[in-house]
Chain A
Amino acid sequence: MPDDAKVAEIADSLHRYERAVLPLLEKHSSVSDLVKASGLQEIEVLRGLNWLQNKGLAKITEVTEELINLGGNGRKYASSQLPETRFLDAIKEQPLSLSEIKRKTSLTDEETSASIGALMRLRAIESAIVQEGKGFKATEAGKKLAAEGTPAQRLLSRKFPIPEKNLTPDEKAVVEELRKRKDVIRQDVVKNKSATITDLGRQIARKSISAEKIIDRLTPEMLLTGSWKKAKLRPYDLSTAAPRAFFGKLQPYREFLEEVRDKFVGLGFEEMTGPIIESEFWNMDALFMPQFHSARDIHDVYYIKEPKHATDLPKELVKKVKAAHENGFGTGSKGWQYEFSEEKTARLIMRSQTTACSARKMASKDLKIPGKYFAIGRCFRYDVIDAKHLADFNQVEGIIIEESLNLRHLIGLLKLFAKEFCQTDKVKVVPSYFPFTEPSASLYAKHPALGWMELAGAGIFRPEMVKPLIGRHVPVLAWGIGIDRIAMFKLGMDDIRNLFSHDLNFLRNAKVV
């Protein structure tokens, strides 16, 4: 048993609910009695009891109880009587034909036949001959029942819910009978809590808990009147679990992309955009990807069902691009040497690479030279979706356009990316292949946690691509960064599909920094 000081300390820490409930536990145990005696809400009593139990002052026990309750029809029959009661009522004075009974009681056919069955079982009616032919009349037992009420009607008139254990055997039989009817009886299982006081609780309760001088909550009135000076603020149980708070949060992957956007703006890049429903012209032909290239296959790109063709292609530019494909367009190249299809170039597809944005920017009137541009855009590929592949994903890429840029600048740029996105200067730049760049390079960077990874692909746009779009040759460095692996690492994911997760618990619990 704790000493007096400890007991006093516990007494002082009691919440208003606990102080109200604890003394009552000497006389009452059920929650409903405690609610009545304390004048508190049920939830308040329950919380008080829980806290008292945590402090070792009370012990809560839980008893489950089966309750008989009325269903929708049950409530209806309780107030406007059971069909058989109405049936019996109609014939208690004189026998009537069935049609006469129905008219008088306005029972449905179904209710009528149920009534006849029930009353026959009670031997309350028997068939009789009336003027119109066959009918029913009440027996002596029936007349008695009409006066006293049938057992079922008497049961319905009681106050519900009734604990099942309080029913007499006869009543139980009536309940079983009523259960067969639709929605008359409902059975509920409730958990009843009751509590007993512990020795320590009794000791504290008998110390006469002084309710007046201990206050729970500082109120504006107390501050206004200064009454707080005479009172003591109850110390809290700081270990009590607080209910969870929900607040609005930005989606973590989208926020990651925003950081990338900010990073490029910080590095002096201007954002470019373009439509996601794109023509093959901007998505491929303007990039000098030949129309027979395997990445343009029906198994690599999504084609739009309707409409099939773009109607807003720049006619003059299409001619120049066509010439570049067919014969090099005077760039010193022999071109791809095939017949370029103007029908195919207008075909609408889902954008498969953000390089389409670069092509649009290079052909636009507001292109700045020197200029740096980037795009973060959704791209679409005909691909099986699994932990490593998405059919609908984001690409980050861009261009730098300036007279006399060369491969050495490109390598410098790639090393900068390794530092910015992988925090490393351990890099390998190796030759690579892209249909629209020459030379082409891939950047491998040693990520502090992921190890060597292919971070970016880059190159200098081919002259056959640049000249039709800009009108002359200017060096254009182009690059694309594989950002999703870094995003997944940052967000602690090993399945790429989770970048677009619809799991609210995951999103609500996602770490922000």
Chain B
Amino acid sequence: MPTISFSHKDFQKLLGRKMPIEEFSELLLLYAKAELKPGNTPDDLTVELDDTNQPYIWSVEGLARLLRGITSKKEAAPLRLQAGNYSIEVDESVKNVRPCIAAFVAKGVKLDDYLLKQLIQMQEKFDTGYGRRRQKVSIGLYSYKRISFPIRYTAVKPDSVKFIPLGFEKELNLKQILEQHPKGQEYGWILKNSQDYPLLLDSNGQILSFPPIINSNFTGRLEVGDSELLFEATGHDDESLNLAASIFAQNLQDRGFAIHSVIIKHKSKTTKTPSVERKLVKITPQAVEAVTGLKLKSSEISSLLQKMGYQARGETAIIPTYRADIMHPVDVIEDVAIAYGFDRISEEPLRSYTVGKKDRAFELINPTRKLIAGLGFQEIFSHILTDKKSVTEKSVELQNFMSETHSAVRNSLLPQLLDVFAKNKHSDYPQKIFEEGLVASREATKLAEWRSIALASAHSKADFTEMKQYLSALLGSIGLQLEVKPAEHTMFIKGRVGSILVNKQHLGFIGEVKPEILEKHGIEMPVAAAELNLSLLP
């Protein structure tokens, strides 16, 4: 979830009125799916945003615009583009690397330290979140005064071009940048399948940047005092790039910048970014009622939509250019409900009566657990993930585990019960414990999951007979007859281990645990144990 920081004063300036922290916090919860975190100073606010699909509110400008809409009656001003003679020529060579680009020029407000930091924060949140760590969208910001248009977007051989990357003092070629520059090391993976690397140059042949990695140390630097800037975003689909350009342009316009569009010249087509084309969605009162249960007139819906930044004409909602999260009319209807206020929506009880029912397995599991507890056993409840060293080769292992202790799915409950004995040597004996739970195993490529139940007893006289007594009593109580046939098992002493049979079906093993295993666990008492597959019980 994205987290952003900004000044409370700045927020109020953008909002156009005072708003105490308490009210702001409440409105964030109700309208922005966001939560106010405690900041460092009274003026320094930190907000966590819940919605990973709405980058237009991942900035103080976006939040202020949203809450301005909610608390005023005025329709929000859409993006107004100024014409300008700015263009980017896109070379065919980028087609297989990073084919798309969007850009605009913003002029008219002097950047101070705070505003510069806000721009960089916005860029970072967009790049890492919506931009999927720059793979989908990568944004560059430049000081306009150092660039001469038209700009050229092209792709070159990694070792054919040299420039000084941001923060460095010497020239590196593109290959060296990936190896030596921290950003190269961080984002180089994006280009791992590319022969040629993307490059932005101005009309003087000056290098602007090496997208999506790093800007040049000279032209690719935005500084305090600049009042004109160039925005560009590169990626793989025009829609995401246009969204990025729209959000940034709208935010800068809200701060008083004039936005100039940039013409993107491909060999086959020419477009203008950011696009101001707005999509339309039909929203009927019936559709709103079906989803929200609210009986609203068309005019009421229109005014609620306006609060959320839409323009509404009759039953048609015009989606703001900075929003790309609207996939279906239901997304617009949610905004109607949010604008109406979830706190004002009254509840309605459910109408149908349905019959509750547990999973059938528990009709056996729960009585069995109670019977075993009745035999004096303490129940254990363990994790299903375990150390791959404690399971046999037929177990299911994880490919990406964080710690060895959680690196495989258990295929038996006994190792965990032995672990309990090992950890409780100073607790009073006899120790009788059991667990019921899911286990899984793998036979070549075939997976199996079942419910297992295991009992273990540790004390100075724990033996096979005791365990057989318990097991017969248990099975007898659920109407089954226990039969034990000699068997072999890696965990149990030879000659003191048997296969548990019910109606001739093998269900598991019963036996005395091998002393070498007890020694390995550091257990100083004999242990008798049994484990059986509950899913196989008739």
Report A's interface with B, CB cutoff 8 A: 244, 246-251, 253-254, 258, 261, 264-273, 275-277, 292, 294, 298, 302-307, 311, 328, 331-337, 348, 350, 368, 370-372, 378, 380, 382-385, 390-392, 400, 402, 404-409, 411-413, 415, 428-433, 435, 438-442, 460, 462-464, 475, 499-500, 502-505, 507-508
Contact status A407-B345, CB under 8 Å: yes
Compute how far the CA of A265 lies from the CA of B356 in the bound complex, rounded to whole angstroms: 4
Chain A residues lying within 8 Å of B532, measured Cβ to Cβ, are: none
State which of B329, B343, B347, B374 has its C-beta within 8 Å of the C-beta of A428: B343
B169 within 8 A of A: no
Interface flags, B390-415, vs A, CB<8A=1, else 0: 00000011111111001001000000
Contact status B402-A384, CB under 8 Å: yes
User: Can you give 13 contacting A-B residue pairs, CB < 8 Å?
Assistant: A298-B400, A304-B397, A306-B442, A333-B327, A372-B354, A378-B438, A391-B406, A411-B346, A438-B334, A500-B382, A502-B382, A504-B424, A504-B431
Chain A residues lying within 8 Å of B162, measured Cβ to Cβ, are: none
9 closest A-B pairs by CB: A412-B347, A408-B293, A248-B373, A265-B356, A333-B328, A406-B293, A433-B51, A439-B334, A370-B352
B204 within 8 A of A: no
Contact status B399-A439, CB under 8 Å: no
Contact status B378-A507, CB under 8 Å: yes
B265 within 8 A of A: no
Q: How far is the CB of B493 from chain A (nearest CB, A)?
A: 24
A392 and B383 contact, Cβ closer than 8 Å, known pairs A294-B52, A333-B328, A335-B327 = yes
A505 and B424 contact, Cβ closer than 8 Å, known pairs A277-B449, A303-B399 = yes
Q: How far is the CB of B280 from chain A (nearest CB, A)?
A: 13
Chain A residues lying within 8 Å of B350, measured Cβ to Cβ, are: 400, 402, 405, 409, 412-413
A276 and B291 contact, Cβ closer than 8 Å, known pairs A270-B354, A400-B350 = no
Compute how far the CA of A368 lies from the CA of B369 in the bound complex, rounded to whole angstroms: 31
Chain A residues lying within 8 Å of B352, measured Cβ to Cβ, are: 370, 402
Q: How far is the CB of A299 from chain B (nearest CB, A)?
A: 8
Contact status A431-B373, CB under 8 Å: no
Chain B residues lying within 8 Å of A402, measured Cβ to Cβ, are: 350-352
Compute how far the CA of A430 lies from the CA of B30 in the bound complex, rounded to whole angstroms: 5
A267 and B356 contact, Cβ closer than 8 Å, known pairs A247-B376, A248-B374 = yes
Contact status A385-B403, CB under 8 Å: yes
Taking residues whose C-beta sits less than 8 angstroms from the other chain, chain B's interface range is 35 or more
Question: Which B residue sits closest to A250, measured CB to CB?
Answer: B379
B517 within 8 A of A: no
Question: Which B residue sits closest to A249, measured CB to CB?
Answer: B378
B19 within 8 A of A: no
Q: How far is the CB of A467 from chain B (nearest CB, A)?
A: 11
Chain A residues lying within 8 Å of B396, measured Cβ to Cβ, are: 277, 304-306
Compute how far the CA of A248 lies from the CA of B51 in the bound complex, rounded to whole angstroms: 48
B480 within 8 A of A: no
Contact status B384-A266, CB under 8 Å: no
Which residues of B (128-161) have their CB < 8 Å from a CB of A?
129, 132, 136
Compute how far the CA of A38 lies from the CA of B442 in the bound complex, rounded to whole angstroms: 67
Contact status A460-B291, CB under 8 Å: yes
Contact status A504-B427, CB under 8 Å: yes
Contact status B377-A432, CB under 8 Å: no
Chain B residues lying within 8 Å of A380, measured Cβ to Cβ, are: 384-385
Interface flags, B446-469, vs A, CB<8A=1, else 0: 110100000000000000000000
Question: Which A residue sits closest to B360, measured CB to CB?
Answer: A271
Compute how far the CA of A500 lies from the CA of B384 in the bound complex, rounded to whole angstroms: 10
Contact status B239-A337, CB under 8 Å: yes
Apart from the given pairs A276-B440, A304-B398, 17 other A-B contacts in the complex at a CB distance below 8 Å: A251-B378, A265-B356, A268-B354, A270-B356, A271-B358, A302-B385, A304-B396, A307-B446, A370-B354, A404-B290, A408-B294, A415-B347, A432-B33, A432-B50, A433-B52, A438-B334, A504-B420
Contact status A433-B53, CB under 8 Å: yes
B101 within 8 A of A: no
Q: How far is the CB of B44 from chain A (nearest CB, A)?
A: 24
Question: Which A residue sits closest to B334, measured CB to CB?
Answer: A439
Contact status B420-A277, CB under 8 Å: no
Contact status A378-B354, CB under 8 Å: no
B380 within 8 A of A: yes
Contact status A305-B399, CB under 8 Å: yes
Chain B residues lying within 8 Å of A428, measured Cβ to Cβ, are: 29, 343
Question: Which A residue sits closest to B350, measured CB to CB?
Answer: A409
Chain B residues lying within 8 Å of A292, measured Cβ to Cβ, are: 132, 136
Question: Which B residue sits closest to A300, measured CB to CB?
Answer: B400
B419 within 8 A of A: yes
State which of A249, A275, A405, A502 has its C-beta within 8 Å of the C-beta of B423: A502
B192 within 8 A of A: no
Compute how far the CA of A435 lies from the CA of B54 in the bound complex, rounded to whole angstroms: 12
Contact status B343-A251, CB under 8 Å: no
B73 within 8 A of A: no
Compute how far the CA of A303 lies from the CA of B384 in the bound complex, rounded to whole angstroms: 15
Chain A residues lying within 8 Å of B440, measured Cβ to Cβ, are: 276-277
Which residues of B (322-345) have their CB < 8 Å from a CB of A?
327-331, 333-334, 337-338, 342-343, 345
B433 within 8 A of A: yes
Question: Which B residue sits closest to A407, measured CB to CB?
Answer: B292
B490 within 8 A of A: no
Contact status B378-A248, CB under 8 Å: yes
Compute how far the CA of A277 lies from the CA of B291 in the bound complex, rounded to whole angstroms: 34
Q: Among the interface residues A272, A311, A337, A406, which one has the most CB atoms of the partner chain B within 10 A?
A: A406
Chain B residues lying within 8 Å of A337, measured Cβ to Cβ, are: 237, 239
A407 and B354 contact, Cβ closer than 8 Å, known pairs A250-B373, A438-B331, A462-B330 = no
B38 within 8 A of A: no
Contact status B409-A253, CB under 8 Å: no
Contact status B420-A264, CB under 8 Å: no
State which of B343, B356, B399, B449 has its C-beta within 8 Å of the C-beta of A268: B356
Compute how far the CA of A378 lies from the CA of B386 in the bound complex, rounded to whole angstroms: 14
Question: Which A residue sits closest to B416, measured CB to CB?
Answer: A502
Contact status B50-A302, CB under 8 Å: no
Chain B residues lying within 8 Å of A272, measured Cβ to Cβ, are: 359
A507 and B380 contact, Cβ closer than 8 Å, known pairs A391-B402, A430-B342 = yes
Contact status A332-B50, CB under 8 Å: no
Contact status A254-B379, CB under 8 Å: yes
Compute how far the CA of A478 lies from the CA of B372 in the bound complex, rounded to whole angstroms: 36
Chain A residues lying within 8 Å of B277, measured Cβ to Cβ, are: none
Q: How far is the CB of A506 from chain B (nearest CB, A)?
A: 10
B428 within 8 A of A: yes
Compute how far the CA of A248 lies from the CA of B375 in the bound complex, rounded to whole angstroms: 7
Contact status A249-B373, CB under 8 Å: yes
Q: How far is the CB of A82 from chain B (nearest CB, A)?
A: 34
Q: How far is the CB of B177 from chain A (nearest CB, A)?
A: 26
B432 within 8 A of A: yes
A408 and B358 contact, Cβ closer than 8 Å, known pairs A248-B432, A251-B379 = no
Compute how far the CA of A435 lies from the CA of B51 in the bound complex, rounded to whole angstroms: 9
Which residues of B (41-99) have their CB < 8 Å from a CB of A?
50-54
Chain B residues lying within 8 Å of A475, measured Cβ to Cβ, are: 290
Question: Which A residue sits closest to B135, measured CB to CB?
Answer: A292
Q: Among the interface residues B406, B428, B433, which one has the most CB atoms of the partner chain A within 10 A?
A: B406
A500 and B383 contact, Cβ closer than 8 Å, known pairs A246-B430, A270-B356 = yes
A261 and B362 contact, Cβ closer than 8 Å, known pairs A249-B378, A275-B449 = yes
Contact status B327-A268, CB under 8 Å: no
State which of B328, B399, B401, B445 has its C-beta within 8 Å of the C-beta of A328: B328
A383 and B343 contact, Cβ closer than 8 Å, known pairs A248-B374, A277-B449, A500-B382 = no
B20 within 8 A of A: no
Which residues of B (286-317) have their CB < 8 Å from a CB of A?
289-294
Chain A residues lying within 8 Å of B333, measured Cβ to Cβ, are: 439
Chain B residues lying within 8 Å of A372, measured Cβ to Cβ, are: 354, 356
Question: Which B residue sits closest to A502, measured CB to CB?
Answer: B420
Q: How far is the CB of B392 from chain A (nearest CB, A)?
A: 14
Chain B residues lying within 8 Å of A378, measured Cβ to Cβ, are: 384, 438
Q: How far is the CB of B282 from chain A (nearest CB, A)?
A: 10
Question: Which A residue sits closest to B398, measured CB to CB?
Answer: A302
Chain A residues lying within 8 Å of B53, measured Cβ to Cβ, are: 433, 435
